[in-house]
Copies of this chain bind each other. A is one copy, B any other.
Amino acid sequence: MKKVLFATTALVMTAGVAAAEVALTGTGRMGVIYDGNDAQFSSRLRAIFTMTGESDAGLSFGGSIRADNSASGNQGVAGSVYVSGTYGKLEMGDVVSASEAAVGDLPSVGYTDGGFAGDLEEISYLTGDGANLDQGPNILYQYSINNISLFASASDGSDRRWFTTTGANDNVVCEFDPESGITDCETVSDDDLAWSLAANYEAENFMVGLGYAKQGDAEEWTLGGKASFNNFAVTAIYADYSDRNSISFGGDDATGNFVDDLTLSSENYELGKTWGLGAEYQMDAIRVAGFWRRDELRTTSTGDAAGYGDRDMDSYGIGADYDLGGGATLSGGIVDSDWLNDTVADMGVKFKF
């Protein structure tokens, strides 16, 4: 068996060669998640392919995908590909929205990076980051001039199907499974194009960002900033929504399931505003981080009629990391949220290879 060990610093004979390259890295983690009732073992190992190249004229290109999301069905809606040059960087695939690229999210906690609690540190941006992939890959464009970066993102508003064969109904998609030899058909419809425009300003010790996004009737304004001084960093994010009647918390392994009267999509509620605050303290090998987030739910006319009132959903998270060196970090986190049945926690180690 081949036992090739490649060192972190190995940059093998690339000097002077404008070469396209594939870098192989990985991440891992193992630990225990307390889901409010049981302690559960949870581990994961991922291989990551990062590809880079440069054309003769100096245009950079590349992309990144993982072994675990490479499966055929995901093609074009997992990982991303980019070209980058004087006129900015254009990325296509499973990208974030312009708003999220400019404004960002709250700091994550725990060895599962927030996954143990449904990634509540992530602001519920209207578009991108997995939200519009039923339309195929999304695009994200970024252009930076001095300290200012401009962002634009969009889905294509069209289903994922390409051509249709003679006599085929435009609204029926058939997919051929080479393994079973069966062709599955389903009716599809185009969706509203989702787009976003945003900008941020980055100075040495602080960043401020502003974003706007729209899909159909739904609208989103986001304003956020991050400031760092000595060992501290503070993040603040404010989001204002119109006609936002669905929201999901997609962790790595689970997602929100808001049954009963909390189901936004039942039209009793819509998401009105989100406020978020984050704080991080880093000293030597130790990092302590926490976040608070309030999602303001407004009753819709249906909800009003049903006698529901407005509700504030608060979420708190706190965690600590200890860098063991060599790519290993000991981490633990606790999250308490009105969105969850129980207070949940995790504790374990995470690795970078």
Q: Which residues of A line the B interface, CB within 8 A?
A: 1-14, 17-26, 28-30, 33, 35-47, 49, 51-57, 59, 61-77, 79-83, 90, 92-94, 115-118, 130, 133-134, 136-139, 155-158, 160-170, 172-176, 178-181, 183, 185, 190, 248-262, 324-328, 338-342, 344, 349, 351-353
User: Taking the full assembly, how many copies of this chain does it contain?
Assistant: 3
A-B interface, 10 closest residue pairs, ranked by CB to CB distance from nearest? A56-B325, A176-B255, A20-B327, A38-B158, A167-B260, A67-B70, A55-B324, A43-B92, A8-B19, A7-B14
Tell me whether B2 and A19 are in contact (CB under 8 A).
yes
In the bound complex, do residue A136 and residue B40 qualify as a contact, i.e. CB atoms below 8 Å apart? yes
Nearest CB in chain B to that of A260: its residue: B167
Contacting pair A8 B21 (CB below 8 A) = yes
Whether the pair B13, A9 counts as a contact (CB closer than 8 A) is yes
Q: What's the nearest-Cβ distance from chain B to residue A351, in Å?
A: 6
- Bound together, the chains give a CA A76 to CA B157 distance in angstroms of 35
Asked if A51 contacts B41 (CB within 8 A), the reply is no
Identify which of B76, B137, B163, B256 contacts A341 (C-beta below 8 A).
Answer: B163
* Min C-beta distance of A27 to chain B, whole Å: 8
Cβ-neighbour of A36 out of B47, B139, B163 (below 8 A): B163
User: Which of B8, B130, B166 interacts with A262 by CB under 8 Å?
Assistant: B166
Pick from B17, B63, B352: contact of A45, CB below 8 A.
B63
